[in-house]
A and B are shown apart, each in its own frame.
Chain A
Amino acid sequence: MAEALHEVLLWTGRLVLGYMMIVIGFYSFFTVVSAIQLRRTALLDDNNPYEELLDVSYTKPISILVPAYNEELGIYGSVRSLLSIHYPEYEVIVINDGSTDATLDVMIDRFRMVPVPRNVRKVLQTEEVRVVYRSTLYDNLYLLDKANGGKADALNAGINYASFPYFCSLDGDSVLERGSFLRVMKPILDSDGDVIASGGSIRIANGCTIESGEVVRIGLSRNPLVVMQVIEYLRAFLLGRIGLSRHNLLLIVSGAFGVFDKHWVVEAGGYRRSTVGEDMELIVRLHRMNNDRKLGKKIIYIPNPVCWTVAPESAKYLRRQRNRWHRGLLESLKLHFTMMFNPKYGAVGLVSMPYFLFIELLGPVVEGLTYLLMAVLFASGPTYWPFALLLAAASVLYGSVFSMTAVLLEEWSLRKYPRLSDLLRLFAYALTESFWYRPLTVWWRIEGLLQWIVGKRGWGTMKRKGVSA
């Protein structure tokens, strides 16, 4: 009996080791691709390529959609910052998704909004839009007041009312850098329409100094949870997405900041209502359509344009966010499971989908099992401590290598933490990740899966702080 158990444990250990090797291989490959790419553009003078796009005759106008549900605190600040972005022609459409707080009143009041008749081609089905308002202060600012239907429904309503060929979805609590739209649109223009979705980087605004809707000084928060999220975001965006994007394997364009070709999103059926991961689900569906119809379109990520967003500062809200993200990931993969390992979908079916299933979705489960296995092993018999400790040290250190490489890539990009002490703190936190943050997020993600299994589907409430502090 003991022998059999030993055998099982041994094989489980080997499987975990093999799994880890694959994961490390994947990450290392993406890291190299990202490093080459960022190095190539590292010294490029940032402003030159974009000035010429400021003439509308050469650019395409954009509709910026801001879905808002109970955002009375932050909505004024974020809309205000949108009205001063650097882009030749755009409209801002705020969609009040049946808020129960004063979001609608704040908008009407602060921007002097009045009802206007507006005919639309209702290309996507949504909950009823009760009134369309237009600002008397800013000609390009609209507000839709609609019955509650969730974020996806609000975005679909926005798409119906958008008058321009490209639209951008934006969270109500984020701050865009002024030049971000030019940067995110450049590859779309460069591709003559072959790029149908383009997303920028999301960075964490906590700790930065924000004045009238603009980040004026980049700083690192003192809150350990936030610093860990900073490292996580750098890793996710700079290490992961550049590599995925280069091979058209990207399955996520962050819901917080992405530009889409309206025509193709409508063709694909718009945002799906009954999922919490509507941003990922749309991208997967666009890939699916792209392959089904052999359109040859691309979905890309560009590191340079940055959208600053407020990260949760307490474990309570961070936990809800991670629960939700993981459920969203699961739903998207489940809805499009037929693409998995399906050669018809090319690299997306053979690489991206399995990557997101085995590494992103099931990763926490494997990691959780490993913790469990370790506990069982320690309890079940004598431990060969020198070896165990060395393995533990190796796993802690290797995680930190990826984190620090992400920081290195950040140094090669354009927005850097200015102080030496910031670097040292990032380094110190990266070393501690395996002891507290990693197990926490692993558990939260497993929790997300468990919630899904017991039938939980909603968003859960998030506490908004607002950006214009």
Chain B
Amino acid sequence: MRTEVFVALLVVLFIAAVLLVLLCYLLARKHADNRLARQLEQLIEEARPAMFAYLIHGKTSGFLDAGGSPVQIRALEMLLDSCADVMSGEEATRRITSYAESTFTAAYRANLFSRQWSIRMNTLYRIERFGMTGLAPELVKLLERDSDVSAAELAQICKTLAGWGDEALLRRLKNRPPALPEFQRRLILSRMSDGLFTLFMQERVSYPRDWQLAAVDIVGILRKLEHADTLQELLGHEEAEFRIRALKALCELPVSVDGDGLLRHAESADWQERAMAARLFGRIRYAGFLPSLQAMLSDGSWYVRSQAAQSICAFPDGQPLLRRIADHSSDRFARDMAAEWAERGLENG
């Protein structure tokens, strides 16, 4: 046989072998997956009545011992997870935690250090979901480590510890703030227990600027009235970004704000500050704001004009006013915007 034929034959056989192995693996895997799914389903069905009896009535007879096989643990985990979806109330939550701690702690402690990222992530989610505070020391240990912990894990650990009011989180944020995106910062702050958040706000200037700004947002989003004074104080902040966020947060809070004092924000050089001021004016609906809002209908920024029109619309006789502006204003931009909102206001009732 010529050499090239021999080589070609080897290549063909090799590729065919790879293909065959792939096919066998795929078939075996599909078969095993389908079998595992059936097995889990069966185990879950068997355990369900006893689980409900325990969670609702506290009856501990029957199933509670997981037996230790990974499939059984997985089935109980899935079952408990689905129960956590539908059950609420202090007693049920306490039982879910107590069951999870007695059944999964050992497995989770090992999983937290698994080599596979997705296993570590799933475990972190479950620890939070089942409220397994007994594992807090492990989480703190991970929080204080820098290597081998991905940003996603770090964010999840922070969120969990925030919910548990663990002060180790504040230490980390202050000393070595993790590089997390804005929405994660907000989520972490929003999960903080009231006590922890108050501690944060008391020392807010000692945290990085990004975290301070996110905290201002959270005061508005979660309507944390007890921190309204801080927002008012921030309206005088030298940096526009703080003033903008404070104005935005104040739009969400039912507190009285010094109306005339706010007028200067309508004159700001920053269009975002003007737009936020316009929005707040619409929330407060103080008649003294109307001239300023009318002037903002001719603002150079589309957003400010749009916001001003919306805010005028929110005043008791805002719609007729918009109509008049639409008909008589000498400024084309003001006319167009007023016309749109006069109409939209009607649609929205």
Contact = CB atoms under 8 A, between A and B. Distances in A.
Interface of A: 40-45, 48-49, 52-53, 57-59, 116-119, 121, 134, 189-192, 386-387, 390-391, 393-394, 397-398, 400-401, 404-405, 407-408, 411, 416, 418, 420, 423-424, 427
Given A43-B118, A190-B181, A390-B5, A57 B186 contact: yes
B118 A401 contact: no
Contacts of B186: 57-58
Nearest to B339: A117
Contacts of B347: 116, 134
Contacts of A118: 340
A400 B186 CA distance: 48
Determine the main DSSP class of B at the interface with A. helix
Interface string B324-343: 00000000000011011001
Given A394-B15, A397-B19, 11 more contacts: A42-B118, A43-B122, A53-B183, A58-B186, A116-B344, A387-B4, A390-B12, A397-B15, A407-B26, A411-B26, A423-B27
A387 B16 contact: no
Interface of B: 2, 4-5, 8-9, 11-12, 15-16, 18-19, 22-23, 25-27, 29-31, 34, 116-119, 121-122, 125, 129, 151-152, 181-184, 186-187, 190, 217, 221, 302, 306, 336-337, 339-340, 343-344, 347
Contact of B8 (A41, A189, A394): A394
A374 to B, nearest CB: 15
A143 to B, nearest CB: 15
B19 A401 contact: yes
A109 to B, nearest CB: 19
Contact of B221 (A57, A121, A390): A57
A49 B122 CA distance: 10
A423 B26 contact: yes
B19 A400 contact: yes
Contacts of B5: 386-387, 390
A398 B337 CA distance: 63
Given A40-B117, A404-B22, A411-B29, A119 B337 contact: yes
Given A390-B8, A397-B16, A44 B30 contact: no
A411 B33 CA distance: 10
Contact of A397 (B12, B29, B121, B340): B12
Interface centre among B25, B26, B152 (most CB of A within 10 A): B26
Given A41-B118, A116-B344, A117-B339, A192 B181 contact: yes
A401 B29 contact: no
A418 B117 CA distance: 26
B54 to A, nearest CB: 24
A405 B22 contact: yes
B15 A404 contact: no
A433 B186 CA distance: 51
Nearest to A424: B27
A390 B9 contact: yes
A390 B7 CA distance: 10
Contacts of A134: 347
Given A116-B343, A393-B12, A401-B18, A408 B118 contact: no
A40 B114 CA distance: 12
Nearest to A121: B302
A192 B213 CA distance: 14
B8 A117 contact: no
B343 A117 contact: yes
A285 B22 CA distance: 40
A52 B30 CA distance: 32
Nearest to B303: A121
A52 B11 contact: no
Contacts of B119: 43
A427 B340 contact: no
Contacts of B16: 397
Given A57-B186, A401-B22, A119 B340 contact: yes
B19 A192 contact: no
Interface centre among A391, A397, A427 (most CB of B within 10 A): A397
B333 to A, nearest CB: 9
Given A40-B118, A57-B221, A408-B25, A420 B183 contact: no
Contacts of B151: 190
A148 B181 CA distance: 42
Given A44-B121, A189-B181, A404 B344 contact: no
Contact of B183 (A58, A387, A408): A58
A219 to B, nearest CB: 15
Contacts of A393: 12
Interface centre among A40, A48, A53, A420 (most CB of B within 10 A): A48
A191 B151 CA distance: 11
B8 A387 contact: yes
Contacts of A404: 19, 22-23, 26
Contacts of B19: 397, 400-401, 404
A59 B182 CA distance: 10
Contacts of A401: 15, 18-19, 22
Contacts of A40: 116-118
15 contacts: A40-B116, A43-B116, A43-B118, A57-B190, A116-B347, A119-B302, A119-B340, A190-B184, A192-B182, A390-B8, A397-B16, A398-B15, A411-B26, A420-B31, A424-B27
B209 to A, nearest CB: 14
Contacts of B121: 44-45, 48-49
A387 B29 CA distance: 36
Contacts of B182: 189, 192
Nearest to B1: A386
